[in-house]
């Protein structure tokens, strides 16, 4: 199972993007969300830190909503 991270820096729309380990767009300023079965549970974990979290359009496409 992959490890996921949430970006500490918000996007222009206010989202904090969740990335899967190995993503080309992985930020350097991030929080380790741990290992998850899929992006949905990783995004849910990210919402413990930021109420507006969303999956990366590249590595978490199934969880990218905005």
Domain boundaries, the chain: 3-63
DSSP 7-60: ESSPPTTS-EEEEETT-TT--SSEEEEEE-SSHHHHHHHHTTT-SSEEE-TTT-
7-62 pLDDT per residue, tens: 999 999 999 999 999 999 999 999 999 999 999 999 999 999 999 999 999 999 99
Instruction: Give residue 66's pLDDT band: very low, low, confident or very high (50, 70, 90).
Output: confident
């Amino acid at each position: 199972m992959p490890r996921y991270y949430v970006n500490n820096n918000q996007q222009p729309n206010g989202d904090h993007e969740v990335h899967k380990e190995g993503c080309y767009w992985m930020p350097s300023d991030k929080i380790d969300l741990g290992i998850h079965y899929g992006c949905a549970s990783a995004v849910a974990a990210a919402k413990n830190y930021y109420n507006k979290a969303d999956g990366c359009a590249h590595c978490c496409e199934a969880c990218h909503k905005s």
